[in-house]
Structure 1
Amino acid sequence: MTIETDSLTLKKMIKRQWKVPWELIEQIEDIRVKLHSMQGQVIHTFREGNTVADALANEAIDSKEKKEYHNFNELPTNIRKCINIDKAQIPNLRIRTRKINIQ
């Protein structure tokens, strides 16, 4: 089993490469035990490879009520779009622009 996270910090804490803040020690140890028992691994994925999870998380945060989706057609349009882009293996690029001040 492979778990992907877009948090490099979380990955490094789970792999004992970084010190775990005391507030998270129990949760991180729980994750380690479960990963070990399932012979799992944690890998880092960039945010661009995680658009479906980000869209679902944003939907949960923005929603005022609990929602359940039982099939693809019940999902919000923006999430269906992300899934279809993933299935088509279309790359998701993040383009940053910066403002240049000319004086």
Structure 2
Amino acid sequence: MILKQWKVPWEIVERVEDIRKRLHQLDAKIIHIFREGNTVADSLANEVIETQDTKEYHIFQELPGNIRRLLNMDKAQVPNLRIRNKYINIQWQEQ
């Protein structure tokens, strides 16, 4: 929507336009990233959703342990891979 590739629902047209203006002012770009490349933000969002509470962290030590671990992995440039297992459903037939 921000990149004008999808139609913007009328309910959020003003917000999207505001985001576009701010991006232009900042000379910023939006790029796509898979979930594996955004694990810290995904984990922080899940933390808020699970607790249904507003959270503020001011220093690294205040962060939950799993998020500190993910940040350290990002800092060390350890790749985060998505591995999918394909399960085969075999039904045995008696003969």
Range into which the TM-score falls when normalised by the shorter chain: 0.7 to 0.9
Report the Cα distance in structure 2 between the residues aligned to 1:22 and 1:65, rounded to whole angstroms.
29
Provide the residue aligned with 1:39 in structure 2. Answer: 27
Report the Cα distance in structure 2 between the residues aligned to 1:29 and 1:42, rounded to whole angstroms.
14
Q: What letter corresponds to residue 45 of structure 2 in structure 1?
A: A
- Answer yes or no: is 1:71 the counterpart of 2:59: yes
Identity across matched positions, percent: 64
Which runs of no fewer than 5 residues in structure 2 stay unpaired?
A: none
SS of the residue aligned with 1:43? coil
Computed over aligned residues only, the root mean square deviation of the Cα atoms, in angstroms, reads: 1.2
- Answer yes or no: is 1:80 the counterpart of 2:68: yes
**Structure 1 residue aligned with 2:14, among 23, 26, 33?**
26
Which runs of no fewer than 5 residues in structure 1 stay unpaired?
A: 1-12
Report the Cα distance in structure 2 between the residues aligned to 1:25 and 1:33, rounded to whole angstroms.
12
User: Which structure is larger by alpha-carbon Rg, 1 or 2?
Assistant: 2
What is the TM-score of this pair, normalised by structure 2?
A: 0.87
Q: What letter corresponds to residue 21 of structure 1 in structure 2?
A: P
Higher relative contact order (CA 8 A, sep 6+): 1
Runs of 4+ in 1 over 6 A off after TM superposition: none
Aligned residue pairs, count:
91
